[in-house]
Structure formats: C-alpha cells, structure tokens
Amino acid sequence: MGKATGFLEYEREVPGEVDPLQRINAWQEFVIPFEEKRLTIQAARCMDCGTPFCHVGRMLSGMASGCPIHNLIPEWNDLVYRGSWKEALKRLHKNNNFPEFTGRVCPAPCEGACTVGMKGSPVTIKNIEKAIVDKGFQEGWITPTIPTAHTGKRVAIVGSGPAGLACADQLNKAGHDVTVYERADRIGGLLMYGIPNMKLDKGTVQRRVDLLAAEGITFVTNMEVGKDITIEELKSEFDAVVLCGGATKPRDLMIDGRELQGIHQAMEFLTRSTQSLLDSGLQDEKYLSVKDKNVIVIGGGDTGTDCVATAIRLECRSVMQLEIMPQLPLTRQPGNPWPEWPKVMKTDYGQQEAARLYGTDPRRYLTSSKSFIGDGHGNLSAIQTVNVEWVTDPQGGIVPVEIPGSEQIIPADMVLLALGFTGPEGGLVEQLGVERDGRSNVKAEEHYMTNIPGIFAAGDMRRGQSLVVWAIHEGREAAREVDCYLMGSTDLQ
C-alpha cells in the first residue's frame, strides 16, 4: 500500500500548531492543516507490510493495540497517495461513522501498532484520517443518505455520546425508526461537553448531528430517561432500547477538607465552561471562574490536560497538575514492545501552553494529596501533598508509600478532580433492574443484551471509561445485535 519504498524515502511529518502563547487567547482548534502534496507524501509512507497491525484492534497488556473499529488504514492511505480522495472517503466511512471525531481526539492506537513504527516513526494515520473527512465535507461529498426501506421497528437510544450516535446511525441505515434521548440541552454527550472546543470544535459535532437528523434520526434533548419519561413508556413505545449513557459517575477524593468551597469535579468545570462559551461567548458568567486564582488539577490523564488548558484560557493565576504515578520514560522500554501501545512520556497541548506561559511544566509526579486546607471561612486556600514511591507489598502488588518529611503546602483557590469515573450513574440502571458486572458497569456480555429482553447496552456504560473509538466500536456492534434481535438476521458491518 502507498509507495513501496515510501517509508524509506520520506520522514514522518506532523502538522504545525498555532504558537501556545497566541492560541491561549482563543477557543478555536489550533492545528494547522497540511496541504495535499504533503499529505500525499505522508500517505506514501504506508508500507506494503503484508500483515497490517494498525487495524487489528485488540487488547495487549490492558491497552488497545491497533484500531478498535478496524479502520481500513492501508487501503485509504493508498488511495490518498494516488490522489483518489473521494474513494478514500468511502473506505474511511465503511468502518468509521465519525472520522472527524477520531481524527481529532483519538490517541491513535493505530499509530502505536504501525509496522513502520517498529524501527522508525509510524505513519501519520490520524492526521490523514482527519484530512480525508474534512476534505469530504469541504467538497460536498458528504450528504444525507436517507434509507429507502423501512422495517417499521422502533428503537430508543438513551445517551447521545459517540456510542449512542454510532448505534443510531447504524440502526437508521438498517431501516429502523430511531429516537435518541439526551438529558443535556445539546446532542453529543462527551463530544459536546466533555472535550473542550479547542480540541474538538462544537461546530464539527453539530455538523454531524445535523446530518444524522437529515437522514431520519429523531433527537430529543432535555429529556432524562427515568425522570422526564418513564422506563415503562419507553418499553411500551419501542421494540428495543439501547443504553448508551456513559460511565459518568466521577471518582471522588475523600480526604480531610473535602467539604470546603472551591473543590469541583473536572467534568463540571469543563461542561459549564463549554456551555457558557456556546450559549453566550462566556458573557453569562455561568462557568466556574478561575480568573486570578491558583488552580490545582489532580489527575494526569487527558481530562486533566483539558482542565489545564481551559483554566489557562479562563485566565487563572497559576495551574499545577498533580499525578501520583511516576513520569513515563522517553522511549519504549523492553517490557513494552511493539505492537503494544507505547507507554512513553508525552507533553500534550495543555502542558505545552502552561510551560510557555509560566515557564515550567505544570506536572508534579509521584505526588499524593493528603488534605485540603481552608481559610477559616469555609473556602479552600491550600492543599497538603506528600511525595510517594511505588513499592511491592507482601502480596506482590505495587502500592504507593509516602516518603517521610516530603509534605508540602501548596496555595490553591480551586481544585479540579480529574480522577476518572467509576461507572454509570445509578438512577436509571436501578430503575430498570439491569444487572451490573464486578466493576459496576451494566452487564451485557452476550449480544450486548442485558438481563432484560430487548434492553441493550453499549459504550462506556457497558465497558467502563474508555476511548471515543471504543465507544464507536461498541455502538456499531450493539446495532448489529439489535438489528439481528429485531429482524432475525443482519447485514450491518
């Protein structure tokens, strides 16, 4: 695929970005697109590797290796190299309902498993994917495709995140009448409110939602299933229900001082910021203001990074990111061989911006939070931390142990908890009476169906907190099972 010797002739190149000190004054995406000629050269690096690992999509050592939705990467790379962009778009959409999302926010496990990356730099798969779909929209190639046949079956989907949207898209293609219920005021789930605008422009999300609506999917916002509409109503009106509500129960940090004012969950901070930005350009002041405040973000993942970048744009005085884990190595280690996901040090956009603005990387590794400290009036004023080291306990587990004398008091006017999620919220799940697995997720192992006939589950609600690309995979797979349940067989891929 591509040019047979391309990976030997051309070096990996990635798009440029707007300078951090400039982009922090705006909320727009900041990646500078490549021109077509350079994209063609990058696509030429996709070697004819015989057995591509980039689209395998399996779990190795607890992490995704290759693309979970089995993107036909070598095929559309070859088509881009040959200048057949419209055909590349068709191959891209064959397995991926929303490449404009994954091309922006996916961490690209495909590149971690790229054969070229075994001894060199992997193909820029994610960038080429984004370029293909963006060109498709620009050229007007992506238009509503309305199903010609209708089955008369009705399906309700609860939740409009990537899993719900993918499931709805597939079931609509199969000719079913699909209604998506969303408790928020906009469709998109975490795509809309969980990811900041500079990382995924909300116009990009709305563009796809509008396309799905034009194809016949019904979207209902401000409607919480189990509260605004009963479960019995859904079950009586629809032939099947798919739960795609996500794993939205945040992990908390119950240490001394947790009751103080100024401690918030990361998703509350991100959601309110984006909602205010979209509603009024931040003029309604309904977001959590960090202007001139010292902000501490607890958690080193992508959500923590998004909090750092958002706090900077909201003009915080300082921002620090605390991580209990050690800093990752700069290169692959022997225990992390290809094609596993490379566990290496990465400096993301939020850290880049903080480093340029404040002169230092905001991350503090091997740091545990001991207590929150108040000002005597119920407000947060500082956080007490301690350094830790990871040691092997008598049972063979690796645990953090505090280092005596390493305690530190750090000024803090606001703390944002970016500690991940513990599973789906309880209300709807408990009302339905569906079983849960050992991790509190909805149990729907065989055919994506729960213990209640006709009730299915997909996405983070079923598998736990995960990647957008896994959610799309789950939505597609659940759609196949629902179609088969309703019709006895399925042609969905």
d(CA 266, CA 10): 41
Residue 252 has what DSSP assignment?
Answer: P
Residue 374 has pLDDT above 70, yes or no: yes
Count the Cβ atoms, other than its own, within 10 Å of residue 49: 16
Residue 17 has pLDDT above 90, yes or no: yes
Contact (CB, 8 A) for 133 and 92? yes
pLDDT digits (tens, 9 = 90+) for 198-229: 999 999 999 999 999 999 999 999 999 999 99
According to the model, what pLDDT value does residue 50 have? 84
According to the model, what pLDDT value does residue 1 have? 59
Q: How confident is the model at residue 3 (pLDDT cuts 50, 70, 90)?
A: confident
Please tell me whether the peptide bond between 339 and the residue prior to it is cis, using omega within 30 degrees of 0. Answer: yes
d(CA 185, CA 307): 22
d(CA 81, CA 33): 17
pLDDT digits (tens, 9 = 90+) for 311-325: 999 999 999 999 999
Q: Where are the beta strands (DSSP E) in 285-397?
A: 294-298, 318-322, 363-364, 367-374, 380-392
Mean pLDDT of 131-140: 98
d(CA 213, CA 229): 21
Q: How confident is the model at residue 119 (pLDDT cuts 50, 70, 90)?
A: confident
d(CA 155, CA 174): 11
User: Which string of b and e fits 291-314 if b means at least 16 CB within 10 Å?
Assistant: eebbbbbbbbebbbbbbbbbbbbb
**In Å, how far from its chain's centre is CA 332?**
24
According to the model, what pLDDT value does residue 492 have? 96
Residue 2 has pLDDT above 80, yes or no: no
pLDDT digits (tens, 9 = 90+) for 421-462: 999 998 889 888 999 999 999 999 889 999 999 999 999 999
Q: How far is CA 217 from CA 97, 105, 165, 220, 232, in A?
A: 14, 25, 10, 10, 22
Residue 229 has what DSSP assignment?
Answer: B
pLDDT digits (tens, 9 = 90+) for 59-86: 999 889 999 999 999 999 999 999 999 9
Q: What percent of the chain has pLDDT over 70?
A: 100
Residue 122 has what DSSP assignment?
Answer: P
Contact (CB, 8 A) for 439 and 423? yes
Give me the chain's average pLDDT, please. 96
According to the model, what pLDDT value does residue 98 have? 98
Phi/psi region, residue 106 (left: phi>0; alpha: psi -120 to 50; beta: rest), is: beta
Count the Cβ atoms, other than its own, within 10 Å of residue 469: 25
- The better pLDDT of the pair 242, 231 is held by 242
| 392 beta partners | 398
Mean pLDDT of 78-106: 97
According to the model, what pLDDT value does residue 22 have? 98
Instruction: Set out the domains of the chain in order of their start, with CATH numbers.
Output: 6-138 (1.10.1060.10), 154-248+422-487 (3.50.50.60), 252-419 (3.50.50.60)
Write the secondary structure of 13-76 as one string of H (helix), E (strand) and C (coil): CCCCECCHHHHCCCCCCCECCCCHHHHHHHHHCCCCCCCCCCCCCEEECCEEECCCCCCCHHHH
CA proximity to 262, closest of 411, 418, 381: 381
CA proximity to 251, closest of 397, 432, 459, 416: 416
According to the model, what pLDDT value does residue 211 have? 98
d(CA 424, CA 247): 4
Lowest mean pLDDT among 91-100, 139-148, 229-238: 229-238
pLDDT digits (tens, 9 = 90+) for 183-193: 999 999 999 99
